[in-house]
Amino acid sequence: MKVLIPDPLRSYTDERRQVEAGGATLGEVLADLDRRYPGIRFRMIDEQDAIRRHIRIFVNGEQVRALDVPLASTDEVFIVQALSGG
């Protein structure tokens, strides 16, 4: 399925804004992304296996908050990373 990558994470995907990944759940898709682009999952998922506070993930335009959300091969996953600073 199509996964859209935000600018701050594109260094993991060779600057690609769109990549392909597979899996039956969001967690499996993120694990597949990490196999293809090592280290990217840790930037989105914390040590408690939860989506990090500054990350938003949308599937077909709807925000999801759990890794066990089922996905279809035709779904589109869009990852958004909040920006902060001082």
Structural domain spans, the chain = 2-81
The structure's pTM equals: 0.91
Superfamily of structural domain 2-81 = Beta-grasp domain (3.10.20.30)
Could you please report the per-residue DSSP string of the chain?
Answer: -EEE--GGGTTTTTT-SEEE---SBHHHHHHHHHHHSTTHHHHHB-TTSSB-TTEEEEETTEEE--TT-B--TT-EEEEEE-----
Tens of pLDDT along 18-70?
A: 999 999 999 999 999 999 999 999 999 999 999 999 999 999 999 999 999 99
